[in-house]
Amino acid sequence: MKLAFCLFKYFPYGGLQRNFLDIALQRVAAGDEVFVYTLSWQGDIPQGLMVRIIKIRAFTNHIKYKKYSERVSKYIRQDNVDCVVGFNKMPGLDIYFASDPSCKARRHGCIQRMNPRYRYFIEFEQAVFGTDSHTHILVLADRQQAEYQHSWHTPDERFTLMPPGIHRAACAISDAAQQRQQIRDEFGIDDEQILLLMIGSGFKTKGLDRALTAIHALSKPLREKVQMRVIGQDKAAPFIRMIKRLSLQAQVKILPGRNDIHAVMQAGDLLMHPAYREVAGMIILEAIVAGLPVIVTDVCGYAHHVNKARTGIVLESPFDQSQFNNQLALMLETDRLQWHQNGIHYGRTQDLYSMAEAASAAICQFCCSKANR
């Protein structure tokens, strides 16, 4: 089959981008021709992917994305593809991999709803989820499907729930202690210090401001034992200013994305993920199977795994900063060994790894049924 994979931007450290690449390479391995249409691509292009970089100039992102959609539709006809798989919302998709929450479900004021940017997002979301659409949707969590159905009344049969799809390399392995020491030496962190981690692109959405506030609220003796490393690809300037304002320069460092995150997790003592919103949150599962305890907000699609695995604390909605401050202090003063052991056991006994295979199979099934109509 000839498949079109559409996403606005590819960079190596985004969760959506990792899912896209895993699924695309599954289809390449199955013998399909995979055309990728994107506005930008960072890093090497894996063998077997035919990547078209679509150059578009526009003053705003929503205009750029609209022009991209129009241009892609021409390329799709030109390349004579059999099925169109989208990783961002846009018209003309046969299959949409739903990595984002519903725009319509979020609360917006009257003035904001009149904004051209908002109208663009609603138009593209309706093109995927509206009752007049035939797009099949791959969702990552039950609550995500419920949110979209509440907004658009999309019928059940147009959804397929995907299992999680982290890499088995995230699991704690025999040289975990060596990895831990190596990374802690690199970061300049001794055995008596507590290493807190925040990992992922999108610092604002992930709740970095909440995490910094909670660290600032720790008692002075506990705060002086803490080191925090924030690792990801995003605009760091506003948070660097916040770090200075809270006098946390000695505790907190923001670092660029890196390829050895699984080793970094072995070096950590706690993952902080107080997200404002998160459809799934692969990093949560990766922390669990690495044996890294987690404190996370319940809005994250994969937060329930923390409770199920008994590997940390899930903060209930509505978010309360004081509660977060207190729970963080409690976790830092608690022996975290049992959480660590529970997570490793969970990773060995649960299917947390087959999303790419399941999505690949769903794409094959849908495209074959489309060809037979």
Rg (CA), the chain: 21
Whether the model pTM is above 0.85: yes
**Residues with Cβ < 8 Å from 147, sequence gap 6 or more?**
101, 102, 105
Report, as an integer, the average pLDDT of 294-314: 97
| Cα(231)–Cα(258) distance, integer angstroms | 8
Element (H, E) at 231: strand 226-231
Q: Is the pLDDT of residue 114 over 70?
A: no
pLDDT digits (tens, 9 = 90+) for 136-150: 999 999 999 999 999
- pLDDT the model gives residue 113: 58
- Under the banding of pLDDT at 50, 70 and 90, the label for residue 112 is low
- pLDDT the model gives residue 111: 47
| Cα(55)–Cα(63) distance, integer angstroms | 13
Domains and CATH numbers, the chain: 2-163+354-371 (3.40.50.2000), 168-349 (3.40.50.2000)
Instruction: Confirm if 39 and 54 have CB atoms less than 8 A apart.
Output: yes
| Cα(134)–Cα(197) distance, integer angstroms | 41
Element (H, E) at 35: strand 33-38
Q: In sequence order, what are the beta bridge partners of 84?
A: 4
Would you call 111 exposed, middle or buried from its count of C-beta atoms within 10 A (0-12, 13-18, 19+)? exposed
Tokens of 63: 């205009």
- Under the banding of pLDDT at 50, 70 and 90, the label for residue 372 is confident
